Chains A and B, each alone.
Chain A
Amino acid sequence: MSMLIRQARTLDPQHNIDKLQDVLIKDGLIVEISNHIETQAEQIIDASGQLLIPGMTDLLSYLRQPGNSQKGTIASETKAAASAGFTCVAPSPDTQPATDSTAVLELVEDRAAQAGFCDLAPIAALTQGLQSSHLTNMQGLSKAGAIAFSNAGEDINSNTVLLRCYEYAATFGLKIFLQARDADLSNGHMHDGALATQLGLNGIPVMAETLAISRQLQFIEHTGVSAHFQQISSASGVNLIRQAKAQGLPVTADVDLAHLCYTEAQVQGYASQYHVQPPLRGEDDRQALLVALVDGTIDAIVSAHQPHEAAAKCAPFAATELGMAMYDTFVPLLLGLQGQAGLSLNQLIKATTSTPAAIAGQDSNGIMVGNTANLCLINPHQIWTLDEATQQSAGANQSLQGQVLTGRAQLTLHRGKITWQA
């Protein structure tokens, strides 16, 4: 199969490319890039006014299988990921059962391969059943494809167990992904601020994050394990990561898109769609997260896509389940961040393509001749409505359901194959 994408603004921050180009794809590879390509291709796409970027990599997503297929399936959610321009997704290990054995890991990989929408960069469980007591077969899981190990949202209470996790990971040079939050202090439902007081909801203080980051940094410094902090939510959390990097510790960090776009104010009126962990915080925190992306303290943006069936969000706030379905709104929300705190389009694309790919140890697949054709074509001006007809994820927990949005992925190519076309 051959495809010629004509005159898109071709943007690949990793290789400093930002110009109007024709790109020719043949048999899954990018075979030619130039100002003008004179050739016959089976498919020719006029992409003037559109944006061609490398396929995006998501370092945190909940694909719900095995165990929770009423919320979404690997097939439905990787398809939704493709519709947002992703070609590689790192699923969270908190499946049921947890992704703590090669059997579960292979099942997840097989389902994704069958569906064929995205490559997987699976994160395996750090402890068996995420129970924080026994180590998983990390070496075996790594050989079976796990790119890193995480205890998902479960805090490891015992310092002894945590130290052994780090020491064992260091033995085999494995990477640890961390959702740093103190379990004890996270026993609430929203950011601990004025609105929590007004709504009578238990607050989660910023200290839930800073205590946990500080603690993990001690282990990182002691063992030299390279670690990736996920979903930083606060200005104080950002400062700790900044200090750790300045100190030369082997750490990277990400932020989820919702925390860049929203604050605790969204919860007003008990809006359960915004019941998330870590909680949406104040405007100062949101600004600090944006600045951290600009100055490189935070490396990547993740979706933290958590699809749910409608009933999971239909209850009094505290009784609803955590998380937002993000893929359907990912592109318009991401593009909407341009210019905020000085964030450039280049920085936004870098934080969703080459940087997360490098953290996941994946080929970066930039837009270069000879590379695999993992590409996404975005129309940044398209105006569309999120409704039943356009929604791709099985998740009913869409924060922007029924709203008019600007910007949409038009075409996603995964290994040269069309996995999404609007």
Chain B
Amino acid sequence: MSLSPSAKLQLTDSGELRHFLTVDGLPKTMLERILDTANSFVVVGNQEVKKVPLLRGKTVVNLFFENSTRTRSTFELAAKRLSADVLNLDIKTSATSKGESLLDTLRNLRAMHSDMFVVRHSDSGAPHFIADQVTPNVAIINAGDGRHAHPTQAMLDMLTIHRHKGAFDQLKVAIVGDILHSRVARDQAIALNTLGCQDVRFIGPNTLLPTEAASLGVTTHTNMDQGLQDVDVVIMLRLQTERMDSAFLPSAGEYFNAYGLNRQRLAKAKPDAIVMHPGPINRGIEIESEVADGSQSLILDQVGYGIAIRMAVMSMAMSGQMQQRQSSQQEGN
């Protein structure tokens, strides 16, 4: 079987993870290993001493070209629990705004012998570009790029679903809201498909649904009541309020009327359906407080799983990257 370009870039010659850029192209067995590894780290989080020595002596650089305190904090915590040294670089207010190019910034960091970059960038494909052309020997973890991918968020959602619903193959999952601009939605859809889920639905107005969404293995619904019918999982996406300024939507009120999750709407789903949201939530815009804080909501559980998933992919990518370096050194000798 020939690998897709993104799979080739992310895997070592022997099929181990060396970068984590998108779930697109990764085999089912790899996603399952990430979930299994993360499951074991959930336990670590509950222990008195929360550290494991897997990344001792390694330097992880959080390269955030776009602000995100929440995501950065969970990556920082994950790296520290793996015993790595962590450097946080808020590039937006640092080098590139002084005219230094992305390329030069990265070359400088490489010269400091970093082992892993956790990258968030507003351009789709930026982590891809870094892994492919700039620093192939530094493990790259994508912490969100443009509207392309946010694979650790998608995998923590998979972990949440897996821990609460078990196997994926019988599940019906609805993803609701601003799919078009969401870096998470396409990774979620791809991960769900890869893990065996047969029924993934995108729900939103036509202005917020991407072109040819079916190519991601989903069906699309503009009517929320119909879309939620009998689903096991409802994933709500955050609505950026600037969407109203660029004619995607008329108003937050009208959006909530058509696509906000309230108790009546949730009743269309299965009685034991779970509700998820990547946070931070806009109460009264995409979700009603009663539902967000209700018994079916797993929104706070997701945060804890986020650290476990990030520990899993960081430790796996670091070990794959080390293997690749060793094998290419041996070839060089």
Chain A residues whose C-beta falls within 8 Å of the C-beta of B126 in the assembled complex: 316
Q: A315-B101, A318-B146 are in contact. Are A270 and B186 (CB under 8 A)?
A: no
A199 touches B148 (CB 8 A): yes
Contact B103 A311 (CB under 8 A): yes
| A86–B132 alpha-carbon span in the complex (Å) | 36
Q: Which of A192, A194, A270, A311 contacts B125 (CB 8 A)?
A: A270
Check A200 against B183 for contact (C-beta < 8 Å). Answer: yes
With contact pairs A314-B103, A318-B146 given, residues A197 and B129 touching in the complex (Cβ less than 8 Å): no
Q: Report the separation of the CA atoms of residues A413 and B147 in the bound assembly, to the nearest whole angstrom.
A: 51
Nearest chain-A residue to B4 (Cβ)? A268
The total of Cβ contacts below 8 Å across the A-B interface reads: 77
Q: Out of B24, B101, B123, B149, name the residue touching A318 (CB < 8 Å).
A: B123
- A311–B101 CB distance below 8 A: yes
Indicate if B102 sits at the interface (CB-CB under 8 A): yes
Q: Please provide the chain B residues from 169 to 186 with a CB less than 8 Å away from any CB of chain A in the complex.
A: 183, 186
Say whether B215 contacts A194, CB under 8 Å: yes
- Determine how close the nearest CB of chain A comes to the CB of B227; give it in whole angstroms: 19
CB distance from B141 to the nearest CB of A (A): 16
**Cβ-defined partner of B211 (8 Å) among A196, A317, A318:** A196
Asked if B124 is at the interface of the complex by the 8 Å CB criterion, the answer is: yes
Given A200-B149, A315-B101, A193:B121 Cβ within 8 A: no
Q: A269-B132, A311-B103, A314-B103 are in contact. Are A201 and B125 (CB under 8 A)?
A: yes
Residues of B within 8 A of A205 (CB): 211
Chain B residue nearest to A196 (CB atoms) is B211
Contacts of B132 in A (CB 8 A): 269-270
B212 contacts A317, C-beta separation under 8 Å: no
Q: Are A203 and B124 in contact (CB under 8 A)?
A: no
**Contacting residues of chain A (300-330) with chain B, CB-CB under 8 angstroms:** 311, 314-319
Residues of B within 8 Å of A196, CB to CB, are 211
- Whether B264 is near chain A, meaning CB under 8 Å from some CB there, is no
Interface membership of chain B positions 212-241, coded 1 if the CB is closer than 8 angstroms to chain A and 0 otherwise: 110110000000000000000000000000
Whether B186 contacts A197 by the Cβ 8 Å rule is yes
B277 located at the interface, meaning its Cβ lies under 8 Å from any Cβ of chain A in the complex: no
In this assembly, does A198 line the interface, its C-beta being within 8 Å of a C-beta of chain B? yes
Q: Which of B4, B123, B126, B147 has the most CB of A within 10 A?
A: B123
Chain B minimum-CB-distance residue to A195: B215
Q: Are A315 and B211 in contact (CB under 8 A)?
A: no
| Shortest beta-carbon distance from B184 to chain A in Å | 11
Complex formed: what's the CA distance from A349 to B15 in Å? 48
Interface residues as binary, A173-210 with B (CB distance below 8 Å gives 1, 0 otherwise): 00000000000000000001110111111010100000
The minimal Cβ–Cβ distance linking A359 to chain B, given in whole angstroms, is 35
Q: Which residues of A contact B133 (CB under 8 A)?
A: 314
Residue B6 is within 8 A (CB to CB) of chain A in the complex: yes
User: Which chain A residues lie closer than 8 Å to B186 at the CB level?
Assistant: 197-198, 200
User: How does the 8 Å CB contact mask read for A153-190 relative to B, with 1 for contact and 0 for none?
Assistant: 00000000000000000000000000000000000000
B216 touches A198 (CB 8 A): yes
* Residues on the A chain within 8 Å of B183, using CB: 200
* Pairwise interchain contact A319-B103, C-beta atoms closer than 8 A: no
With A197-B216, A317-B123 in contact, is A203–B6 under 8 Å at CB? no
> Given A200-B149, A270-B129, A315 and B102 touching (CB < 8 A)?
yes
Assess whether B45 is interfacial by the CB under 8 Å rule: no
Q: Of residues 59 to 75 in B, which have CB atoms within 8 Å of A's CB atoms?
A: none
Q: How far is the CB of B164 from chain A (nearest CB, A)?
A: 28
A residues in contact with B102, CB < 8 Å: 315-316, 319
Q: With A200-B145, A200-B149 in contact, do A316 and B212 touch (Cβ < 8 Å)?
A: no
Q: Which residues of B contact A192 (CB under 8 A)?
A: 211
Does B307 sit within 8 A of A, measured CB to CB? no
Q: Which residues of A contact B103 (CB under 8 A)?
A: 311, 314-315
* List of A residues within 8 angstroms of B211 by Cβ: 192-194, 196-197, 203, 205
Q: Counting CB contacts under 8 A, is B128 at the interface?
A: yes
Compute how far the CA of A37 lies from the CA of B212 in the bound complex, rounded to whole angstroms: 63
Instruction: Find out whether the CB atom of B125 lies under 8 angstroms from the CB atom of A199.
Output: yes
B129: contacting residue among A193, A203, A315, CB under 8 A: A315
Q: CB-CB < 8 A to A268: which residues of B?
A: 4-5
Q: Hey, which chain B residues are within 8 Å of A269, CB to CB?
A: 5-6, 9, 128, 132
B210: interface (CB < 8 Å): yes
14 chain-A/chain-B pairs, Cβ below 8 angstroms? A193-B212, A194-B212, A197-B186, A197-B211, A197-B212, A198-B216, A200-B124, A200-B125, A200-B148, A200-B149, A269-B128, A270-B125, A316-B145, A319-B102
Instruction: State the B residues within 8 Å of A (CB).
Output: 4-6, 9, 24, 101-103, 121, 123-126, 128-129, 132-133, 145-149, 183, 186, 210-213, 215-216
Given contacts A197-B212, A270-B132, A316-B102, 12 further A-B contacts (CB under 8 A): A193-B212, A197-B211, A197-B213, A198-B215, A200-B125, A201-B146, A268-B5, A269-B9, A269-B128, A270-B125, A315-B123, A316-B123
